């Protein structure tokens, strides 16, 4: 897993790449502790529900924008859980 975090004046930027069990752990955490279910996580990531199960089973992993979106969902969960105010600004 590689995660680059760069703090600029008012923006948090990061790149996230992962495979196998690391993404499965993030998905498991979001499903079991983040208040999400498979349909809502699939919708948030814009992927089929069956792909979520494949990630949990470590048969597939996300790349590119989908992997970054998964990391952002984790950071939102982490921030919401451990900090009173937290937001992510994504560049499009």
Q: What CATH code is carried by the domain that includes residue 26?
A: 1.10.260
Other CB atoms within 10 A of residue 5 CB? 10
**Residue 89 belongs to a domain:** no
Q: pLDDT (tens digit, 0 to 9) for every residue of the chain, 92 residues total? A: 455 455 454 455 555 556 668 889 999 999 998 889 999 999 999 999 999 999 999 898 898 889 889 988 988 887 777 765 556 666 55
**Residue 87 belongs to a domain:** no
Give buried/exposed letters for 20-37 (b at 16+ CB in 10 A, else e). eeebbebbeebbeebebe
**Residue 8 belongs to a domain:** yes
Q: Domain range for residue 67?
A: 2-82
- Vertex 20 angle, CA 15 and 44, to 5°: 60
């Amino acid at each position: 897993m590689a995660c680059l975090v760069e703090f600029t004046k008012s923006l948090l930027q990061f790149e996230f790449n992962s495979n196998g069990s690391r993404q499965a752990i993030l998905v498991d955490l979001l499903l079991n502790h983040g208040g999400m279910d498979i349909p809502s996580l699939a919708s948030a990531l814009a992927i089929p529900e069956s792909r979520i199960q494949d990630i949990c089973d470590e048969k597939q992993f996300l790349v590119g924008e989908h992997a970054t979106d998964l990391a952002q969902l984790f950071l939102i969960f982490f921030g919401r859980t451990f900090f009173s105010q937290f937001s992510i600004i994504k560049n499009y």
